[in-house]
Each structure stands twice: as C-alpha cells, then as structure tokens.
C-alpha cells in the first residue's frame, strides 16, 4: 500500500494538485462546511428518533427532509476527500486514523440507512441505534482531524511510528 501511495504521489495529477497551492485550503474548507451540514442533518434525525426535536412532524417527513442533505453532503465529502487523498496519499494511507475513519464512516452510513428504513415507514426506530449512530459520526469527525496527529494519538499503533 505504501508503494502504491508513493507511486500515486509522484503522478502528474498529484504533483499538479500539490503545486496549485490555493486548491488544498479550498477543498479543506468545502470539506469542513459539508461536515457541519451532514452532522446537523444526522443530529436532527437522531433527536427525532429520541423524541427531542421535530416531534410535531411524522418521522417520514423528517427523514424526507434531512436524508437528501446527508446523501449530497457525503457525496461532496467523498469527492473533496478523494482529491485530498490524491494530493497526499502517503500522509493518508500511512495514518491509522484514516483507515479507522473510512471503516466508521461505512458503519455510520449503514446505521443511518437502518434508522431510515424505520423512519420512512413511520415506524419506531431503535433509540440505542440512534445514540450509537451519533457516536459513530462524532468518531468520524474526530478521526478526520486525528489524521494530522496520527503518531501523537495512536503512538506505536500508528503506521507512521
Ligand atoms: C469518503 C468520504 C471521505 C473521504 C475520502 C475523506 C477524506 C479526507 C481527507 C483526505 C482529509 C485530510 C486529512 C489530513 O490530511 O489531515 C480529511 C479531513 C477531514 N475529514 Fe474527511 N473524508 C471523507 C468524509 C468525511 C466525513 C463524512 C467526515 C465527518 C462527518 C469527515 C471529517 C473530516 C475532518 C474533521 C477532517 C479534518 C479537516 C481539517 O482539519 O482540515 N470526512 N478527510
């Protein structure tokens, strides 16, 4: 994997992104704004399941309102994240936080989908699953930030150590 990352980092595409100095902060800013959008949508769905927010609306209406924000937001996160990876593949692929983030992101998407299948039918979604979903998304945010501090966070477990 590290060899692949070294190769990718030396490609013309990666070098072109690296040398367009304004592009990385722009993509990072879009990534950060989208984290806010997706997180608020996840939070409100979870709070609806817990009976704390938007209780005046049926669950299916709340789902129909927020699910598209999550879908589109995650798509933008994936696209901006992909370009960030191409620009610095060695940094990303050698970070334990990166791989854990991808794993928990997949679980976070699956658990939102599981909540959605109950909400769409106006059924009662599992409250523990809702809390677990929120914790998963918080962990994804932490791990995204932790990529820059992989050795500090994971010590000898980091592939960079
Ligand atoms: C497939 C989707 C995604 C990919 C490929 C991706 C990839 C990346 C990459 C490459 C970075 C730069 C990390 C670094 O070098 O320091 C990053 C940063 C980050 N990501 Fe993602 N990401 C994705 C989705 C998400 C999601 C869904 C969240 C949270 C809801 C998230 C939260 C973060 C955070 C908090 C940062 C740190 C931003 C900063 O400090 O500038 N990412 N992501």
- 115-136: per-residue pLDDT in tens? 999 999 998 999 999 999 999 9
The residue whose C-alpha atom lies closest to atom 18 belonging to ligand 1 is 144
The residue whose C-alpha atom lies closest to atom 24 belonging to ligand 1 is 77
Residue to probe by mutation, ligand 1, list 36, 38, 77, 141, most atoms within 8 Å of CB: 77
Residues lining ligand 1, Cβ inside 6 A: 28, 31-32, 35, 38-39, 74, 77-78, 81-82, 84-85, 88, 91-92, 105, 137, 140-141, 144-145, 147-148
Three-state SS annotation for the chain: CHHHHHHHHHCHHHHHHHHCCCHHHHHHHHHHHHHHHHHHHHHHHHHHHCCCCCCCCCHHHHHHHHHHHHHHHHHHHHHHHHHHHHHCHHHHHCCHHHHHHHHHHHHHHHHHHHHHHHHHCCCCCCHHHHHHHHHHHHHHHHHHHHHHHHHHHHHHHCCCC
Taking only the tens of pLDDT, the chain with its 161 residues reads 889 999 999 999 999 999 999 999 999 999 999 999 999 999 999 999 999 999 999 999 999 999 999 999 999 999 999 999 999 999 999 999 999 999 999 999 999 999 999 999 998 999 999 999 999 999 999 999 999 999 999 999 999 88
Q: What is the pTM of this model?
A: 0.95
Distance 144 CA to ligand 1 centre (A): 5
């Amino acid at each position: 994997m590290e060899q692949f990352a070294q190769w990718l980092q030396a490609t013309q595409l990666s070098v072109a992104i690296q040398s367009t100095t304004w592009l990385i902060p722009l993509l990072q800013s879009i990534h950060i704004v989208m984290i806010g959008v997706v997180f608020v949508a996840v939070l409100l769905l979870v709070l609806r399941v817990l009976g704390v927010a938007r209780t005046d609306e049926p669950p299916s209406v709340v789902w129909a309102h927020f699910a598209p924000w999550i879908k589109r937001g995650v798509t933008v996160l994936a696209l901006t994240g992909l370009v960030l990876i191409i620009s610095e593949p060695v940094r990303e692929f050698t970070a334990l936080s990166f791989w854990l983030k991808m794993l928990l992101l997949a679980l976070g998407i699956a658990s939102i989908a599981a909540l959605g299948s109950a909400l769409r039918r106006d059924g009662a979604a599992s409250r523990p699953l809702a809390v677990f979903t929120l914790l998963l998304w918080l962990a994804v945010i932490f791990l995204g930030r932790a990529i820059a501090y992989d050795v500090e966070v994971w010590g000898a477990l980091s592939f960079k150590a």
